[in-house]
């Protein structure tokens, strides 16, 4: 797939077909992702790929912790924007769009809770990639490199008909991943990517997120 087409077509997929994704296909995607640039070629990413029984156990334990009221315990600061900011507004706009597509009324607490659970279940994707980095590295530096690798995964996945959703929710309970996905304490867990064949009939997959016009976020200097 042409790179521009891939960039335009990539979107977060929150509903998947149950069809398994072959290990070889996931391996090829990760090979390509490892071509991502990194500061001084440090390549600070590590991947743990889950499917089958182990993924089911992780899903179940994430949801159990969520429903027990356990506070999320991510290993880097994720949600930290002021309430009265454009960032919060964009978050609200996304939630409104998803709830409308999923027919979840604002006041329907039960449906909202079920939707939240889906995120902690990796939207029932047949496979999940957990990305971690070594704790001997700085806290923020590897995030840039890992971001490049993540986008490369999401774009190359499209080439073989796969959809993805990058997820903070999926790493909100690192203790679950340490126990069942065998990720040691020496690794900082950064993000999850749900991956699988999109179910295009799933309403949330019709989400069409907007972007701020580039003129509002760009300063041009030295041009006529
Ligand atoms: C670092 C990061 C974390 C994210 N975490 C979640 C998440 O936990 N749950 C979710 O549904 N989407 C998550 N997303 C997806 C974003 O909501 C999505 O990228 C954004 O709304 C833009 O939509 P698009 O990906 O369809 O273009 C995350 C994306 C990024 C980059």
- Predicted confidence pLDDT, tens digits, the chain (224 residues): 899 999 999 999 999 999 999 999 999 999 999 999 999 999 999 999 999 999 999 999 999 999 999 999 999 888 788 989 999 999 999 999 999 999 999 899 999 999 999 999 999 999 999 999 999 999 999 999 999 999 999 999 999 999 999 999 999 999 999 999 999 999 999 999 999 999 999 999 999 999 999 999 999 999 98
What is the layout of strands, in order, in the sheet containing 163-167?
46-51, 127-134, 187-196, 163-167
Shortest-distance atom of ligand 1 to CA 11: 26
User: Does pTM top 0.75 for this prediction?
Assistant: yes
Query: Ligand 1 centroid to 156 CA: how many Å?
Result: 17
For a mutational test of ligand 1's pocket, the pick from 101, 167, 194, 210, i.e. the residue with the most ligand atoms closer than 8 A to its C-beta, is 167
State if residue 192 touches ligand 1 by the CB under 6 angstroms criterion: no
For ligand 1, atom 15: residue with the closest CA: 166
CA–CA gap between residue 180 and residue 183 (Å, rounded): 8
Sign, Cα dihedral of 35, 37, 39, 40: positive
C-alpha distances out from residue 213 to 72, 210, 217, Å: 34, 9, 7
């Amino acid at each position: 797939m042409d790179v521009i087409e891939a960039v335009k077509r990539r979107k977060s997929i929150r509903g998947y077909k149950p069809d398994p994704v072959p290990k070889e296909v996931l391996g090829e995607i990760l090979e390509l992702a490892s071509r991502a640039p990194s500061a001084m070629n440090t390549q600070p990413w590590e991947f743990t790929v889950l499917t089958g029984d182990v993924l089911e156990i992780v899903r179940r334990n994430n949801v159990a912790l969520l429903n027990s009221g356990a506070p999320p315990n991510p290993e880097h600061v994720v949600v930290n924007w002021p309430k009265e900011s454009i960032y919060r507004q964009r978050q609200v706009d996304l939630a409104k769009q998803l709830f409308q597509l999923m027919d979840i009324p604002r006041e329907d607490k039960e449906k909202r809770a079920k939707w939240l659970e889906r995120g902690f279940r990796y939207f029932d994707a047949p496979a999940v990639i957990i990305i971690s980095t070594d704790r001997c590295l700085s806290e923020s530096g590897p995030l840039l490199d890992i971001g490049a690798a993540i986008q490369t995964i999401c774009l190359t996945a499209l080439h073989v008909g796969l959809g993805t959703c990058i997820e903070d929710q999926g790493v909100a309970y690192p203790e679950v991943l340490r126990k069942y996905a065998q990720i040691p304490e020496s690794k900082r867990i950064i993000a999850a990517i749900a991956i699988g064949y999109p179910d295009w009939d799933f309403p949330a997959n019709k989400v069409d997120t907007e972007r701020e016009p580039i003129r509002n976020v760009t300063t041009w200097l030295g041009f006529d």
